[in-house]
Amino acid sequence: MKSFKKGETVQLWDWWAAENGREDDPQMLRGHGNLGVIVRKSRKSDSAEHGEELGSRAKNCYLVALCGEGLKSISADWLRYPREHKK
């Protein structure tokens, strides 16, 4: 499982779309390519996309401050280090 630390810059990334040349696909992850900063690991009480609590899904999520979108809990599966900060 990927691990990020508070304050690190990350990029929201749709792996499938990028690897299959489908970055214009309407099903692509909204915000693909946007940068953000890790605020902390998500908590069970944090809100998911549609307002419900994350619950057990929080285990693999981080609260991320995304440029132009505010704070969002996002699965580590959809995050990566930007290429210029690759680790």
Angle at 61 between CA 55 and CA 63, to 5 degrees: 100
pLDDT at 18: 63
Q: Which amino acid does the sequence have at 20?
A: N
Compute mean pLDDT per 10 residues along the chain, 87 residues long, and list them: 91 72 64 87 91 91 91 91 65
pLDDT at 83: 75
pLDDT at 53: 93
Tokens 């699965």 -> residue: 75
The alpha helices in 9-80, defined as continuous H runs, are: 15-19
Q: How many Å apart are CA 87 and CA 69, to the nearest integer?
A: 25
Characterise 51 by phi-psi region: left (phi > 0), alpha (psi -120 to 50), beta (else): left
Angle at 30 between CA 54 and CA 52, to 5 degrees: 20
pLDDT at 55: 93
